[in-house]
Amino acid sequence: MASFFENQHLARRNTKILVLLYALAVAGVILAVDLVLAGIYAANLEWQHAGRELTWMVRLRMVPKSLYLWGAFGTALVILVVSAWHIVKLSSGGKAVAEMVGARRVTSDTRDPLERRLVNVVEEMSIASGVRVPAVYVMDGEAGINAFAAGYDVSDCVVAVTRGTLETLNRDELQGVVAHEFSHILHGDMRLNIRMIGVLAGIVFIGSVGEFLLRSQRGGGDSKGAAPIIIGGLALLLIGYIGLFFARLIKAAVSRQREFLADASGVQFTRNPDGIAGALDQIGVSSAGALIGNRHAEDLSHMFFGQGIQVRLSSLFDTHPPLEERIARVHQRFDRSSYRNTRATAAVAVDVEEKEPQGDEKRRAAAAGILAAASMAGRRGADIGSQWGRSALESSQLVGSMDGAKVDYAARLLGALPAGLREKLRDPDGARAAMVALLFAPKDDVMKTQVDALNAKGLTALAEQARAIAPLCRRLGAAFHLPVIDLALPAVKAAPAKARDELIAALEAVIQADRRVSLHEFVVLTLVRGQLAPRHKPGASGSRKIAELQGEAVVVLSLVTHAGTRQDATGERGAALAAAMRAGTQEMGLPDVPAATALSLETAAAALDALTGLAPMQKAVLIKGLFAAVSFDGSIRIMEAELMRLVGAVLNCPLPPLLESVDPATLAA
């Protein structure tokens, strides 16, 4: 199976193929328009000319070439303008797509048990895959069983399901559907899918104009004057079907094989073929099937989990493979009759009362004291880790991977969170306070300095909230920091711009209060800032090579090696630092250089920002080099593992939990 980076690269190639198919479709529509215009022109010529009757062939030869040229120019202009308008309209990404079909955003603190179950499943999948927790939407008016994921990149996406999905599927089946959608997120399908919506809108627009003209003449009194309009409308409607033909052909060509891959990856992620096979089977059983009633169902047909529209022309134009074939591929031994008989009839009613996993106080205090900063190396637990046993290449291939063991670990980790904290993360103010409290120092006197810095910035209310929640966050080690941030981000992103700006200002004040910025603090700030106030347009394609950004790559490599290199028996770490740097630069194909020793916050932030512009396969080289540096001694510690996950999050390279074999409950202080 292709790696995350290979899938991103293939998605770019598919975009180029889409452009070629689009050009062919535009040419087909232009040809059809020109033929219609020529026919109309010929039909309006006098039947007699120079004493002889004109045949249709003669009439068509009399059509001026300028008519063809202007017809082609006008048609191409209309198609391109409509496509461009839709692309701009969808520039905000997944949110725009969800709103396009009338989906409603589910708040993190929803009390609806069906929605609560959905949010919990999405959160588990996010923590397990390293993807930022997507915004969750529900299509309330849709009884069919369906879902989609939309967005321009893994850090800015949404997952939407129909009300029928929530009310019909049990938890395992719902998990299979969500895992399928996460596969689309990680395989780079979303960006291409959104672009297809905008691009194909121009192709079918002319048919929409023809339909409008026909509707406008219904009930008209002047039948003679309406005749040309009706004929023109019928002609444009016919052209529209030509556009629809090309649009469906393009969508079918692009999406069908991706659905097979997403199904297989969903099974790999959940380790439960019954889940996704059962969900597909329920589509077949349900009277509503997977059909979507929204008027934009055609536009989004290639994005849905199931066949959202009826295609009467031919199965050639289906955007999804047949249900039977999909079920057979994911579960060869699936017995529909047996599954339906054993499937608990009250499964949904029983498990919708989704409660937060609760553990004892020891589990909820998991990983206490491991703050993933060099200054904390002497604390108990800071060096807990394990033998790594993976090469740099194998390590880089973990980016975007989908492993069922990670889902189990994510459930255990979420269960180890203090119940009060988990609830706070669902509220915008509580989520902001928790993110600030994560960076409070363990010593009371230093924390007081940080609180004073917040008060000096006029953030008194946020300071008090963070101080109140600090006891819940203080015991959480590095393994919990990224999950807590991820769980908090959806609520914070939904808050007003002022509240988001205040959070960034608060994090900056807390970090700089003790005049000492740890690498962990810096990366957390960079990640949150990138999520709430991105410098780049979501989904912006990078094309730079690592050789062009050698200085920036060395800066980030230096940060990682400084944080992860330990002192030897003599109290020195110079040799180990040099060895780690050498391992990293060799994998990146860069000259052997010493680790940078004096770096400002601005320099490091600029380096990470620049490296987000690397081409997908070049990002693979960077991540491989960073892994070579942190694991050069054959082991990886909690601190190093979580630092790599944070750096990966900043670079849009989602890393799943790396040390899931270490039970969170064993890391209590």
Q: Is residue 433 part of a domain?
A: yes
User: 372 pLDDT band (50/70/90 cuts)?
Assistant: very low
> Using H for helix, E for strand and C for coil, what is the string for 102-171?
CCEECCCCCCCHHHHHHHHHHHHHHHHHCCCCCEEEEECCCCCCCEEEEEEECCEEEEEEEHHHHHHCCH
pLDDT tens-digit series, residues 547-602: 999 999 999 998 888 876 765 545 566 788 888 999 999 999 999 888 877 767 77
- pTM as predicted: 0.83
Mean pLDDT score, 329-356 = 70
Q: Is residue 389 part of a domain?
A: yes
Give the burial class of 413: count Cβ atoms within 10 A of its Cβ; 0-12 exposed, 13-18 middle, 19 or more buried: buried
Instruction: Of 61-75, 87-101, 367-381, 504-518, give the lowest mean pLDDT range.
Output: 367-381
Write out the catalytic residue numbers: 181
CB 542 within 8 A of CB 610: no
Q: For the chain, report the end-to-end CA distance as a whole number of angstroms.
A: 40
Q: Is residue 301 part of a domain?
A: no
Q: Using the CB atoms, write b or e for 107-116: b if 16+ within 10 Å.
A: bbebeebbbb
Residues 77 and 81: their CA atoms lie apart, in Å, by: 6
Domain count, the chain: 1
What range defines the domain where residue 370 resides? 361-667
Cβ neighbors of 28 (< 8 A, separation 6 or more) are 242, 243, 246
β-strand 52-53 against 135-139: which pairing, if any?
unpaired
Q: Is residue 503 part of a domain?
A: yes
pLDDT tens-digit series, residues 54-93: 677 777 778 888 988 998 998 889 888 988 888 888 888 8
CB 452 within 8 A of CB 514: no
Q: Is residue 436 part of a domain?
A: yes
Quick one: pLDDT at residue 350?
A: 44
Residues 216 and 218: their CA atoms lie apart, in Å, by: 6
User: 400 pLDDT band (50/70/90 cuts)?
Assistant: confident
Q: Is residue 84 part of a domain?
A: no
How far CA 436 is from CA of 414, 511, 640, in Å, comes to: 19, 9, 22
Q: Is residue 422 part of a domain?
A: yes
